[in-house]
Amino acid sequence: MAEEIIIEVRGLKNSFGEQIVHENLDLDVRRGEIMGVVGGSGTGKSVLMRSIIGLQHPDAGSIEVLGESMIDRDEDEAKNIRRRWGILFQNGALFSTLTVAENVQVPIREYFPFIKGDLLDEIAAYKIKMAGLPMDAGPKYPSELSGGMRKRAGLARALALDPELLFLDEPTAGLDPIGAAAFDQLLLELKQELGFTTFLITHDLDTLHTICDRIAVLADSKVIAVGTIDELMALDHPWIQEYFNGPRGRAALAGKSKGAVGQH
């Protein structure tokens, strides 16, 4: 049986003035997988995510998410699709004037305004715990949290509506190696428990080795390859070889091998 495609991008073109970011870009993301998206600076990784979630209107192409076209939808139709996904923007993008619990409640209040009071507080507390934060994080403001805790607070908000699909933009950027590894492990556990599909932009080679099922490589204005790390390393594209076979890539591979040995 063919695997269900959750995100389907065909012939995508994005440009800003004379600068063409994407040209004839195609990508499929399958249900239940963690799809890592990598590429050099300026290849448009975040622009691709913004196009998929409807924040960037492409010049050409088609985008389907969860079986629905994302191009030129009216607001009510788009809202029905958006309630089925969660997004963790780079740096968390939390509202600084709201507590962590209030931040988590924002999407619930937007899409389920009839949920109020104690039930709203209980749902927020559950999501905060699910994201690996202590219960006393709820009444705190983002400025009172460490960088790693802010990422987890953003993740708690992304999980607020029990999403089928999770979009993550550089979730481990700025974290120390221990904090990044803990975040990766949390994502893996949540994915196994909840079964969501993940679209993950990252440059973190450890993350790619540890949790991604497949990786899409952006270069030359399009997705030039999709596959496992082993499949990508077998290709002779210079950027792919430099990225995965460079010193940091070899260190990440060695770290994965060491971890695998330690589990036996």
pTM beyond cutoff 0.85: yes
Mean pLDDT, the chain, rounded, equals 89
- Nearest partner of 40 among 200, 201, 198, 184, judged by Cα: 201
At 120 the pLDDT is 95
Q: How many percent of the chain have pLDDT more than 70? A: 92
**pLDDT tens digit sequence for 122-179:** 999 999 999 999 989 999 999 999 888 999 999 999 999 999 999 999 999 888 989 9
CATH number at residue 44: 3.40.50.300
Is 220:42 a contact under the CB 8 Å cutoff? no
Instruction: Please report the sign of the dihedral spanned by the C-alpha atoms of residue 239, residue 244, residue 246, residue 249.
Output: positive
- Nearest partner of 37 among 19, 57, 59, 22, judged by Cα: 22
Max CA pair span of the chain: 58
Residue 94 lies in a domain: no
Once rounded to an integer, what is the mean pLDDT over residues 22-39? 96
Residue 222 lies in a domain: yes
Residue 187 lies in a domain: yes
Backbone angles phi, psi at 74, to 5 degrees: -75, 165
Residue 259 has pLDDT above 70, yes or no: no
Residue 155 lies in a domain: no
At 92 the pLDDT is 67
The total number of structural domains that make up the chain: 1
Tokens of 173: 């950027």
Query: What is the spatial distance between Cα 183 and Cα 195, in angstroms, rounded to a whole number?
Result: 17
Residue 45 lies in a domain: yes
Q: Which residue has the higher pLDDT, 250 or 89?
A: 89
State the residue range of the domain holding 208. Answer: 5-84+163-262
Residue 224 lies in a domain: yes
Query: What is the spatial distance between Cα 212 and Cα 184, in angstroms, rounded to a whole number?
Result: 10
Residue 235 lies in a domain: yes
Burial (0-12, 13-18, 19+ Cβ within 10 Å), 6: buried
Residue 26 lies in a domain: yes
